[in-house]
A and B are shown apart, each in its own frame.
Chain A
Amino acid sequence: MSRNTEVFVIGGGPAGLSAAHVAAKLGAKTLLVDDSARVGGQLIKQTHRFFGSSNRDAGIRGITIADKLQQDIKDVAARLTVLENTAAVGFYHNKEAGILSQNAYERVTYQAAIVCTGATENSLTFENNDLPGIYGAGGVQTLMNVHGIRPGQKILMVGSGNIGLIVSYQLIQAGVEVVGLVEGMPTIGGYLVHASKIRRLGVPIHTSHTILKALGTDGVEGAVLCRVDEKFQPVPNTEFEIKCDCICLAVGLTPLIDLFQQAQCRMVHVGELGGLVPLHDSSMRTTNPDIFVAGDASGIEEATTAILAGRIAGARAYEAVHGKSAEADAIVAEAREELRTLRSGSTGERIRWGRERVLKEAGEC
């Protein structure tokens, strides 16, 4: 069997949903596939209130933003088909792709594709890091906030970025004791208000520390931590044990880029964006002119900027099929302005630098 669409969106997280919504609303026949049972991406487990501008979802919980995006796509259902439990498994030449649902393989013919595959969680090397009870932070969030299952009773968090801080808070909300948070850098990586939130609920934050090994034989029974010096080397005789039945790793994300490589998009390594990303211009178009990108797959950021970049990609993909449109231009201009303000200031510095590098390499700016 095969399907025919104008705009083909891969991934139903904040970027993909926004891209599909804009493309369909402007008038493109659009197909969105997502490999999970329910679209919404990471938003469906983000029970905390979002930061950002009150013009766009700040102060609202991620789960509520997911509901809003799901409602938005229902409003354009006449032109937008959504296939859940369906994975995009590869690109062919001649604007064709393969999709695999639970029991069927189909081909999709498209005119423009927007790839919003998101990211995968990084792991960390330490002794016994394969013991049962060691999770990625995203996995813990899925267990708790989607399926209502606690990962353990006493958990050690590794990583003080916003994910580590926020998931620690959500673990406390779920009734799990967070016995400590470990961070190799001398300072906390995420927003300090999130750190204060868990600190005042009694979670010790060990900056300039690392995990040396997990203890236990059939499962996690504890961990050995130690101080690290400025070069992140363990300081001898500073080891101490901490008891826990679970270790949660929140040590960053890496863009999920296999499809871009397979579609022969030129890739560039930008550490600030999480590793290899497809080179793209300010319209989110990759070096393969039929393929656009948005969200974490274009560089690790967060949901609000993913939504805005998705809107840009959706508008430009519509134009790639139907030609220039003033309405699309207006959507792009508005989204760019919002992105500019969200990425300004000192906390946006690394992202700004990374984004500028991608644009420079793409021959702009």
Chain B
Amino acid sequence: MLKNDGIITPEELAPVLPPPARLEKGPVAIIECLQDIPCDPCVSACPTKAIKMKEGITDKPLLDFDACTGCGLCIARCPGLAIFVINMKHTPGMAMVSMSHELLPVPEKGQEVTALDRAGKVLGKVKVVRVINPPAYDRTAVVTVEVPAGQVNNIRAIRV
């Protein structure tokens, strides 16, 4: 369980996963922030106001999946590096995962990197399809990798 070992279980993850119908429409964010902590930059990062906190700053973020466009602007703004964007509408059998990456070296587009799951277990090689690392992100690169569709909710880090 998350609070014992830092690994989110499938049961803990279920409430923040977008419904299958939403996944068919294209990229969407998954906010893996499951604890009431005093933090809210994701709320102001969202251009479509899809992220809300009902009880104020110490509440968990709540994502309106239909309002989310999957733009990914929230990813690098999250101090907990807990936001991912997944895109199931890719080539058949494949999907894309976008995540924060704060380790050197920053990979390049087209590079093969090692995919890791929530426990740091190696899930194989994946290809980097996009790297966004502008000065405004202040050294938190947002890396998008192409992954087998079945691994889209397992791959959560990369080793370059």
Report yes or no: B58 in contact with A199, Cβ–Cβ below 8 A.
Answer: no
Whole-angstrom CA separation of A53 from B39 in the bound complex = 6
Asked if B79 lies at the interface with its beta carbon under 8 angstroms from chain A, I say yes
**CB pair A344 B56 closer than 8 Å:** yes
Output the least CB separation between A155 and chain B (Å).
16
Q: Mark A333-355, 1 if CB is under 8 A from B, else 0.
A: 00000000111111110000000
Q: Which of B15-23, B112-120, B124-132, B145-153 contacts A (4 or more CB under 8 A)?
A: B112-120
Most buried by A among B6, B81, B156: B6
Asked whether A195 lies within 8 Å of B38 as measured between CB atoms, the reply is no
Question: In the complex, what distance in Å separates the CA atom of A225 from the CA atom of B57?
Answer: 38
- List the count of A-B residue pairs having beta carbons below 8 Å apart: 133
Kindly list chain B residues whose C-beta atoms are within 8 Å of the C-beta of A125. none
A53 lies within 8 A of B3 (CB)? no
* Nearest chain A CB to B93 CB, angstrom units: 24
Given A205-B6, A347-B36, A348-B58: A193 in contact with B81 (beta carbons within 8 A): yes
Contact B36 A196 (CB under 8 A): no
| B35 and A193 contacting across the interface, CB-CB below 8 Å | yes
Task: Please give me the residue from chain A that is nearest to B82 by CB atom.
Answer: A193
Tell yes or no: B64 within 8 A of A by CB: no
- Give the chain A neighbours of B36 by CB distance below 8 A: 345-347
Question: Which of B4, B34, B43 is close to A54, meaning CB atoms less than 8 Å apart?
Answer: B43
Contact between chains at A207 and B4 (CB < 8 Å): yes
Interface presence of B59 (CB below 8 A): yes
> Chain A residues with Cβ under 8 A from B39's Cβ?
51-52, 58
Task: Please measure, in the bound complex, the distance between the C-alpha atom of A192 and the C-alpha atom of B57, giving whole angstroms.
Answer: 17
How many chain A residues sit at the interface, stated as a range, is 35 or more
Nearest CB in chain B: distance from A127 CB, A: 27
Q: Is A105 an interface residue (CB 8 A)?
A: no
Task: Let me know if A132 is at the binding interface, CB within 8 A.
Answer: no
Of the candidates A58, A173, A195, A344, which one forms a contact with B6 in the assembled complex, judged by CB atoms under 8 Å apart?
Answer: A195
Q: Are B38 and A199 in contact (CB under 8 A)?
A: no
User: Chain A residues with Cβ under 8 A from B59's Cβ?
Assistant: 345
CA A48 to CA B80, docked complex, whole Å: 9
Q: Are A52 and B58 in contact (CB under 8 A)?
A: no
Task: Tell me how far the C-beta of B111 lies from the nearest C-beta in chain A, rounded to whole angstroms.
Answer: 18
Q: Are A205 and B5 in contact (CB under 8 A)?
A: yes
Docked CA distance A53–B44 (Å): 10
B41 CB within 8 Å of chain A? yes
Q: Is the CB of A59 within 8 A of B79?
A: yes
A139 beta carbon closer than 8 Å to chain B: no
Residues of A within 8 A of B55 (CB): 345
Q: Complex Cα distance A58/B38, Å?
A: 10
A345-B56 Cα distance, complex, nearest whole Å: 9
- Given A54-B44, A58-B39, A193-B80, A347 and B116 contact (CB-CB distance below 8 Å): no
B74 CB to nearest A CB, Å:
10
Report B150 CB to chain A, min CB distance, Å.
18
The answer, yes or no, to whether B94 is at the interface (CB within 8 Å) is no
How far is B119's CA from A184's CA once the two chains are assembled, in angstroms? 20
B residues contacting A by CB (< 8 A) are: 2-8, 32-41, 43-45, 55-59, 77-82, 102-104, 116-120, 138, 140, 156-157, 159
Listed by A's residue number, 16 A-B pairs whose Cβ atoms lie within 8 Å are: A52-B57, A58-B41, A173-B104, A188-B3, A188-B6, A192-B6, A192-B34, A196-B6, A199-B120, A200-B116, A342-B38, A342-B57, A344-B57, A344-B58, A346-B58, A347-B37
Chain A residues with CB under 8 Å of chain B are 48-54, 58-61, 64, 172-173, 186-188, 191-205, 207, 341-348
